[in-house]
Amino acid sequence: MTIRGHLPLVVAGRAVTVTGGPFDSLPEGAFGVCLEMAAEKAWLADVQLPTADFGLPDPVALRQAVGAALRQLQAEPDRPLHVGCRAGVGRTGLFMACLARAAGVEGDALDYVRAHYLPHAAETPAQQAMARDFRWP
């Protein structure tokens, strides 16, 4: 299992490191957001957001998880944050787009994620719509 890529974000005026991929690629010492509860390393997650493969997370739980990730990046900007599901594409791409929006990315946050992390992030039409409709706060 390997990391699929990095998403450059600026949080509270500082560049932060956000990686994505399978959750089992969680780098040592990283703050982990796990969307795949069947991952072997799911127990190491700092934030668990159970989401079915090709599915959508609960909207309230998604907002809470994005908030926790954003607070973590503000508190420890030098600590990497890793977002992962099974493959690091659909659910991870959706979460990263929501996190990018919360971090202040202007325009279409999903387009930003696709340009900087993975060209086919957020695989299903429903995931794409949820990512594009996400508003913060």
Helix (H) or strand (E) holding 67: helix 59-75
C-alpha dist (Å) from residue 64 to 54, 59, 60, 99, 132: 20, 9, 6, 11, 18
Amino acid 19: pLDDT:
98
Statement: the pTM of the whole predicted model exceeds 0.85: yes
* pLDDT by residue, tens only, the chain of 137 residues: 689 999 999 999 999 989 999 999 999 999 999 999 999 999 999 999 999 999 999 999 999 999 999 999 999 999 999 999 999 999 999 999 999 999 999 999 999 999 999 999 999 999 999 999 999 99
Q: For the chain, which domains are there?
A: 5-133 (3.90.190.10)
Amino acid 1: pLDDT:
65
Amino acid 2: pLDDT:
87
